[in-house]
Structure 1
Amino acid sequence: MQIIHLSYPVKKNIVSGKIVLALGFFDGVHRGHQQLIKVAKNTANSKGLPLVLMTFDRHPKEVYQNQVVSYIDTLDEKIYKMRQLGVDYLLVMHFNEQFSKVSAQEFVDNIIVKLNTETVVAGFDYTYGPKNIANMQNLPKFAQNRFEIITVPEQTYNDQKIGSTDIKRAIKNGKMDLVKDLLGTPYVMSGYIGHGLRNGHKLGFPTANLVWDENKVIPKVGVYATRTMINGKWYESMTSVGYNVTINSAQKIYIESNLFGFSEEAYDQKIIIKWYKYTRGEIKFANLNQLKEQMKQDKLKITDYFEQYR
């Protein structure tokens, strides 16, 4: 997959021939997005054309409404998922104030048509400007028969629309089983291992301290059954999200993963955590011995959880 960063206006075609263009922001690349990309990929294959997917480098709300937006995926995590789904070209459009003022007709003329698009594939609720004008119902009017349009209908789970907003809410509430059902995979956080207070080492449970992208959605405070990758190898693990209330009174959130069967120093190395199940909330213990005993129980519980899937 080739990754191309664009800014408006688009100055040249990405490929020499026609393309199938999939449109969306695709945060999380959830099961609804996966169905859209599957439709686009099948269309591209049937026409013998490359599949080009266009996303933005930030959510439009950051520009339109000056909002701080949390994300399910970093760009690197999104890129990884797109590779797995067979996308040929990923276009990352820089979304700035200038681009936010592009009209619906300009979006069609100066992006879709300029990219030499044969077929557009987008979700039923995709918008490319003011939603009462720049919507999929009006796209044929702006297209003027210059390309085919495929609108992918709403995708549901338990009769509810699969959407990024609901997935973010589930992550924040610690509902990792639901998150996995909606994403199709466990929630992932990636980053590198930072230097912590080494309190885990003192308790006999050394932890890798995740330094993560500040815009990522943070799971609910508590302890989780996770799998953690370091040095290219996955380990069953228990991961804590919290303030270390037994040991200190800092207001900073820590994400610390104790990997079962791993005790090496790995500072500054890449780390990936997959989140499977919320097991308990954060507890302030009277002393460190009580905390240590609880961590032993946590490990047994999480080991039993993963035993079901071996």
Structure 2
Amino acid sequence: MDIIRLTYPHLNVDLTYPESVVAIGSFDGLHKGHMAVIQAAKDIASEQGRASAVMTFDPHPSVVLNKHKPAKMEHITPLDKKIELLEQMGVDRVFLVTFNKELSSLLPQQFVDQFFIGLNIRHVVAGFDFSYGHMGKGNMDTLPFHARGLLNQTIITKVMNNDEKISSTFIRSLLREGKMEKVASLLGRPYAIKGTVIQGDQRGRTIGFPTANMEVEETYITPPVGVYAVQVKVGDAYYEGMANVGYKPTFYQEEKQLSVEVNLFDFKGNLYGEQLEVLWHRYVRNEIKFNGVEALMDQLKKDERQIRDFFQHN
């Protein structure tokens, strides 16, 4: 899969690339609604004998356009994971466009000329609510006018799940509520985060539940405090396990630093310095302060039995 990074004004001219069918959008989350747009572009490209492409933006437009947003954004699917998923889908080419103030100031006609016609794109596929150009004044209704007969378009209507519109905003709210099974049903896969294993207090080893203490990459949304059924990817292997997001109240009275720890079932080895990917399947319970280590150990054994049973039957 080719990745072409573009910043306005780019120097590419017509016929630089083979004719393509492009799916365009921010695609944060790559949820089922986004997948429908991208799959439609792939199908049309196959029918027309053209390359399939995705055009997306970095950083997310809201970082530039919304003055009340923080300078960084917590993503459902950060850019590196997005690229990985697009490659798995079999997309031929990704146009990665730098979103900045100059790009946001383009007139709709300028955007179409630069980023569609100028890149030899012959068919655009987008969601019904996609907009382009200064203040979003261009949309799928105006595209035929701006295209001047040089490209065609396909509009994908909203994708529903049990009478609910699938959207990144809805998925974010579910993530912050810990509703991981619902999130997975909208993404089409479990929510996943990446992080590096760092030195912890090693207390888990002394009670029979060694954990990997993760430094989670800042671009991810960390699930709320609690215990979860997870899968952990180590290299190319997956292990079932349980994760704890919280402040370890049994051992620390006034802990301020949120930690993410994972206990991998049936794993033996040293994980320090390894990058792990954690797939969040189910919220199990809230974090509890126990009256001593024995009570904590008893609960952890119950958690493990419950989580093993969950994976056995799912």
Tell me which interval the TM-score lies in, with the shorter structure as reference length.
over 0.9
**Where does residue 31 of structure 1 map in the other structure?**
32
Deviations 1:5-37 (A, max 9, x none): 221112115853211111011111111111111
Give the direction of change, closer, same or farther, for the CA distance of 1:284–1:198 in structure 2 (3 Å limit).
same
SS in 2 for 1:305: helix
Q: Given that residues 17 and 119 in structure 2 are in contact (C-alpha distance below 8 angstroms), is that contact kept between their aligned partners in structure 1?
A: no
**Where does residue 53 of structure 1 map in the other structure?**
54
Residue 181 (structure 1) shift:
0.7
What is the aligned counterpart of 2:273 among 268, 277, 282?
Answer: 268
- List gaps (5 residues or longer) in structure 2: none
The answer on 1:171 being equivalent to 2:175 is yes
1:1-310 to structure 2, matched below 5 A, reads: 1-13=1-13, 15-66=16-67, 67-68=69-70, 69-130=73-134, 133-248=137-252, 249-309=254-314
Residue 132 (structure 1) shift:
5.8
Residue 241 (structure 1) shift:
1.0
Residue 2 (structure 1) shift:
1.4
Residue 87 (structure 1) shift:
0.7
Amino acid in structure 1 at the alignment position of 2:20: I
Give the Cα–Cα distance (whole angstroms) in 2 for the partners of residues 40 and 251 of structure 1.
47
Residue 261 (structure 1) shift:
0.7
Amino acid in structure 2 at the alignment position of 1:168: R
Amino acid in structure 1 at the alignment position of 2:10: V
Moved more, 105-114 or 206-215: 206-215
Moved more, 14-23 or 138-147: 14-23
Give the Cα–Cα distance (whole angstroms) in 2 for the partners of residues 109 and 50 of structure 1.
19
Q: Given that residues 104 and 135 in structure 2 are in contact (C-alpha distance below 8 angstroms), is that contact kept between their aligned partners in structure 1?
A: no
SS in 2 for 1:271: strand
Q: Given that residues 9 and 111 in structure 1 are in contact (C-alpha distance below 8 angstroms), is that contact kept between their aligned partners in structure 2?
A: no
Deviations 1:34-91 (A, max 9, x none): 1111110010011111111111112111111131232101111111110111111112
Give the Cα–Cα distance (whole angstroms) in 2 for the partners of residues 182 and 271 of structure 1.
23
Amino acid in structure 2 at the alignment position of 1:210: M
Moved more, 246-255 or 277-286: 246-255
Deviations 1:176-197 (A, max 9, x none): 1111110000111112212222
Give the Cα–Cα distance (whole angstroms) in 1 for the partners of residues 248 and 143 of structure 2.
52
Moved more, 13-22 or 180-189: 13-22
Moved more, 271-280 or 67-76: 67-76
The size of the alignment, in residue pairs, is 309
Moved more, 12-21 or 270-279: 12-21
- List gaps (5 residues or longer) in structure 1: none
Moved more, 68-77 or 232-241: 68-77
Deviations 1:191-249 (A, max 9, x none): 22122221222221111122222121111210011111113211110011111222222
Q: Given that residues 105 and 134 in structure 2 are in contact (C-alpha distance below 8 angstroms), is that contact kept between their aligned partners in structure 1?
A: no
Q: Given that residues 36 and 152 in structure 1 are in contact (C-alpha distance below 8 angstroms), is that contact kept between their aligned partners in structure 2?
A: yes
Give the Cα–Cα distance (whole angstroms) in 2 for the partners of residues 132 and 2 of structure 1.
28
Give the Cα–Cα distance (whole angstroms) in 2 for the partners of residues 144 and 283 of structure 1.
63
Give the direction of change, closer, same or farther, for the CA distance of 1:245–1:50 in structure 2 (3 Å limit).
same
Give the Cα–Cα distance (whole angstroms) in 1 for the partners of residues 259 and 147 of structure 2.
50
Moved more, 120-129 or 10-19: 10-19
Question: Cα RMSD over matched residues?
Answer: 1.5
Q: Given that residues 119 and 149 in structure 1 are in contact (C-alpha distance below 8 angstroms), is that contact kept between their aligned partners in structure 2?
A: yes
Give the Cα–Cα distance (whole angstroms) in 2 for the partners of residues 82 and 176 of structure 1.
22
Q: Percent identity?
A: 38
